[in-house]
Structure 1
Amino acid sequence: MNTKLLVLAAASVLALAACKNTAEGAKEDAAAAAAATEQAVADAEQAAADAAANTEQAADEMAADVADATDEAAATTESALDSAAASVQDAAANTKDAVKDAAADAAGAVKDAAAKAEEAAKN
């Protein structure tokens, strides 16, 4: 009976020791999990900050690209307007010359007709 009590007492001491080790292990595991959670939160905050910075940089680059494209379109439009204005001036000059030539031809024809009429009147 003493042996049984001794074995039972030893088993109880071992069970209590195991419970204490389990409780300590659980505390350590909980502390490690808390530290890992804190690190994950810090990593997520850093990732969010990096994403915000990248988004801001991309927006700035896009704005610069839009400004460049607008400037280029304005320059192209200005060039096209200058070219159109030059074409209109050329057309106006050509029209003036054509009218001048037509008037000269008409004057010559009138002069010739007058001369023929005069000649016919003499005969």
Structure 2
Amino acid sequence: MKKLSIILCVLFSIFSLSACDVNEGGPEELGENIEETVEDVGNDIEDACEEAKASMKAKDTDC
């Protein structure tokens, strides 16, 4: 489950970054897009971790 979550997050990141057009907004916008993508991936990983812990009926579901 953990490997699948990581793979999905990496693929999401690649597709998100490939959708960026560097010529439109310049380096600043590209940096903001990268920052947002990294934050989204972190949230996705945390959500996947919490779901995995909940499915295993762990007492502490925070990640």
TM-score using structure 1 length: 0.27
**Which of the two has higher C-alpha Rg?**
1
- Distance in 2 separating the partners of 1:34 and 1:16: 27
Which residue does 1:16 correspond to in 2? 38
Which residue does 2:47 correspond to in 1? 25
Amino acid at match of 2:39: A
* Cα shift at 1:10: 0.1
- Distance in 2 separating the partners of 1:24 and 1:7: 26
Q: Which runs of 4+ in 1 moved over 3 A?
A: none
Greater relative CO, 1 or 2 (CA 8 Å, sep 6+): 2
* Cα shift at 1:8: 0.2
- Distance in 2 separating the partners of 1:6 and 1:17: 17
Unaligned runs of 5+ in 1: 37-123
- Distance in 1 separating the partners of 2:44 and 2:31: 20
**1:29-79 deviations in whole A, cap 9, x for unaligned?**
00001008xxxxxxxxxxxxxxxxxxxxxxxxxxxxxxxxxxxxxxxxxxx
**1:2-49 deviations in whole A, cap 9, x for unaligned?**
x5100000000000000000000000000001008xxxxxxxxxxxxx
- Distance in 2 separating the partners of 1:23 and 1:6: 26
- Give the CA RMSD over aligned residues: 1.8
Q: How many residues align?
A: 35
Q: Which has a greater percent of helix?
A: 1
- Distance in 2 separating the partners of 1:34 and 1:15: 29
